[in-house]
Amino acid sequence: MSPSDPISDTELRQRLTPEQYHIAREGGTEPAFTGAYHAHKASGRYRCVVCGAELFRSSEKFDSGSGWPSYTAPTIPDAVSEHRDSSHGMLRTEVRCARCQSHLGHVFPDGPEPTGLRFCINSAVLDFEPD
């Protein structure tokens, strides 16, 4: 899938679980410590559940204690896009898949070196591909 070849809303509702759809298309969030990948340790790549774009690698994953999978950086900087989010009375930076614009989570400036960033991502919008 490319940005010029979007998946229809009807197709997404049929293909995704209600939770995946809610997060990817409505900006929802899964409860902390419930996602399949928050404590996941296998080596591989994490891809967008909607379009299959590679977003993160296990080598960038760390345990932030937040209850969501956390990464220091995306696979390549252009894999995700950042957007101002002032919902819920907070000012945050939302992270979306750059290819299909699905909501992934948020990025915070409190991660470990070398980037100092914590990409806090919902498991439900990720697919894992082992090495």
Rounded CA separation 4/99 (Å): 10
In DSSP terms, which residues pair with 108 in a beta bridge? 118
Single out the residue of 74, 130, 76 nearest to residue 104, CA to CA: 74
Catalytic residue (one of 48, 97, 100, 120): 120
Q: Are 32 and 66 in contact (CB under 8 A)?
A: yes
Q: Is 51 a catalytic site residue?
A: no
Rounded CA separation 94/51 (Å): 18
Positions marked catalytic: 120
